[in-house]
Chains A and B, each alone.
Chain A
Amino acid sequence: MCLRSSSYTSPKPCKHLADYKLRHAFNGYDSLQNCLKTTPIGRTRVDNHNTKIPRCNFCNGYQGRLYICLMCSSISCSTHILLHTQSKSGHDVAIDIERSELYCCLCCDQVYDPDFDKVVVSEQIKGLCPGRSNKRRRLDSGMELDLKKSKRLIAMRDGRAKSCYPLGLRGLNNLGNTCFMNSVLQALLHAPPLRNYFLSDHHNRDECKRRYGEKLCLLCEIGALVSAMFSGDRSPYSPAQFLYSWWQHSSNLASYEEQDAHEFFISVLDGIHEKESKVRNSSKDDGDCQCIAHRAFSGSLRSDVTCTICGFTSTTYDPCVDISLNLDTVNLSAAEKTGLSTLSGCLNLFTRAERLGSDSKLHCQNCQELRDTSKQLSISRLPLVLCLHIKRFEHSLIRKTSRKIDQYLQFPFALDMTPYLSSSIVRSRFGNRIFAFECENSDSSAEYEIFAVIAHSGMLESGHYVTYLHVNNQWYKCDDAWICEVDEGIVRASQCYMLFYVQKLLYYKANKDLSCNASVESR
């Protein structure tokens, strides 16, 4: 357990708490250790080993918040706690019995002390059984790609082009219900790590052909696509060669029917990875894979399954290239609730502890029996590029029907993923504690900026995908062959299906290099 205050601000103690610490140091806290009782789901209360239930010394009440004085162990309710501290000098600090949280009677407010929390958390951990050790995965975020080199590869701009749109914006012709492909390609090709990778010629097509012959290579196809997009030619491009290559890779999806954009996205990443693992002749698991698809999109999800009887938690980690979210269509009781679905609502739903039904009991290693369990997901490692997929298409195998959920989802342009990290989620299980007890890698930032939105309109069978791209502080709508500037309000109001965010630091660097006025070196 480490004490890391950098990512979590420690509030200053009030002067009464500071006084108490000066005079009594850890004496009170240490003797508290024997009186803490933890429930399996992580609440810790103060238990005096009394047979009687705790009651306020002044009014004999047993309801509401009860506090136990750190100095003399007398119990008072929230109404009378002030009386206690007034009658006894120096009895300023008390502990909330139900929650094991510090309270300053004179400030009438909750106070925080890392030393106190350390004691409580260590008792909590002792009370619950520890999960598997956390394998630290370092994400190689140092993608120092040579952008000067990428600029040299861009041909001089076509003088006939009237628009001064940023480089890389070019329409894609619809080859027959291929808007699902066009929309994803627009987003992928403008993802900073991928764009830089291909513009820097990290996958050299000539060399690839020399080494592996004319065999299918999705990376070559994407490279050709990137060159075409950034060539300066503004006339719409037909990605026929790419489509053909992709059909060969995902033959089960090869048809002229409308496909699901998300499915296409996954299959493209898969195709890139496959080629890479053939090249390196390695079968590294997705977390350590160095192919461009994984370097950009790969993150790690943590799943905690807790026995509701004994608290034993089993933790597993799974790599992921995106996060699929259910819409938070929550029925709220109060009249004033507008029923607005938000991205943070969906993310909260995703990371919420869920009781698995009694018909799906799992075997608890500690109890050696089938038990009711609670499962909670969190993000243990964030990717460079975060793809959030909103599950709007419901396929019911039982009823053999599919339907689309049209509910509007509000999403932010700037996203802070900190509350959904494993460190935040697991910390919150221990109540209002103020320090991180898992040494998470805090080098990579949790702040993201949006750069692409894939929106779907229409019905399940006959819908249309468009992509909105954010380049140089301007939003552009990419509707197959047509690119136009749009107001950010249009983007916010769109029915989002896939959201693409990139880590903030990368975002600002990427936009700096793509500015309209950057000089382009001629060949």
Chain B
Amino acid sequence: MKHSVNRPPTPDGAEDQGNEPTLQEIINIKLIESGEKERLMELLRERLIECGWKDEMKALCRSYVKKKGRNNVTLDDLVHLITPKGRASVPDFVKAELLQRIRSFLMSAAL
């Protein structure tokens, strides 16, 4: 990536959180490093397509765009529209499956 001469100095925010990473962050890092996060994301995508969740979100976006007009909608609008509905409508069996995967990963990573 091109490094511009005018690169801003590292903001204070990065140093401000305290030295200890939270448990959630540690788990996240472990998931990413081992490649498990990528696999989980793929599994999630597959399940959400299979159960029709993706089609539902698509339909929501389409009807919104139809209502507002194609040129009056931004990506941010759509994200704000479907995020709450999307989170709420993930089927329980999908959540359960992923939690189970994460659980077994944690056990094998012996955290």
Contacts and interface: CB of A to CB of B under 8 A. Distances in A.
Nearest to A98: B41
Nearest to A24: B2
Interface stretch (A26-34, A231-239, A377-385): A26-34
B13 A59 contact: yes
A330 interface: yes
A32 B1 CA distance: 5
Interface in A342-388: 348, 352, 355
Given A41-B42, A108-B75, A332-B52, A72 B6 contact: yes
Interface residues of A, number: 39
A53 B28 contact: yes
Interface string B15-41: 011000000010011001000001000
A58 B12 CA distance: 8
Interface string A295-336: 000000000000000000000000000000000001111100
Contacts of A107: 74
B89 A73 contact: no
Contacts of B50: 330
Contacts of A74: 7-8
B89 A334 contact: yes
Given A62-B28, A78-B76, A109-B74, A88 B13 contact: no
B35 to A, nearest CB: 10
B4 interface: yes
Interface in A97-114: 103, 107-110
B76 A337 contact: no
B21 to A, nearest CB: 10
A57 B28 contact: no
Contacts of B92: 333
A53 B24 CA distance: 14
A35 B3 CA distance: 13
B12 to A, nearest CB: 10
Contacts of B55: 348
A53 B17 CA distance: 16
A330 B52 contact: yes
Contacts of B74: 107-110
Interface in A59-86: 59-60, 62, 65, 68, 71-74, 78
A109 B75 contact: yes
Contacts of A348: 55
A39 B75 CA distance: 24
B111 interface: no
Contacts of A32: 1
Contact of B1 (A58, A68, A334): A68
A39 B38 CA distance: 9
A84 B46 CA distance: 35
Contacts of A35: 1
The secondary structure that dominates the A interface is loop
A382 to B, nearest CB: 24
A332 B1 contact: no
B3 A73 contact: yes
Nearest to A55: B14
A282 interface: no
Contacts of A55: 14
A333 B7 contact: no
Contacts of B8: 57, 72, 74, 87-88
Contact of A332 (B38, B46, B56): B56
Contacts of B7: 72-74
Contacts of B42: 39, 41
A109 B80 CA distance: 12
Contacts of B28: 53, 62
Contact of B51 (A48, A59, A331): A331
B91 A333 contact: yes
Given A108-B74, A108-B76, A355-B46, A60 B14 contact: yes
Contacts of A333: 51-53, 89-92
A56 B14 CA distance: 8
Interface string B38-66: 10001000100111110110000000000
Nearest to A48: B1
A72 B4 contact: yes
B2 A28 contact: yes
B11 interface: yes
A56 B76 CA distance: 18
Contacts of B49: 352
A53 B32 CA distance: 8
Nearest to B29: A53
Interface string A1-32: 00000000000000000000000000110011
Nearest to A328: B52
B13 A337 contact: no
Interface in B59-109: 74-76, 79, 89-92
Contacts of B89: 333-334
B75 A110 contact: yes
A121 B49 CA distance: 24
Interface string A195-206: 000000000000
Nearest to B46: A355
Nearest to A35: B1
Given A78-B76, A103-B75, 9 more contacts: A27-B2, A41-B42, A55-B14, A57-B8, A60-B17, A73-B4, A88-B8, A330-B50, A337-B56
Closest 10 CB pairs of A and B: A109-B74, A333-B91, A332-B52, A73-B1, A110-B75, A31-B2, A108-B76, A72-B4, A109-B75, A334-B89
21 contacts: A31-B2, A32-B1, A48-B1, A53-B32, A60-B13, A72-B3, A72-B4, A74-B7, A74-B8, A78-B76, A88-B6, A108-B76, A109-B75, A330-B50, A331-B52, A333-B52, A333-B53, A333-B90, A333-B91, A337-B52, A337-B56
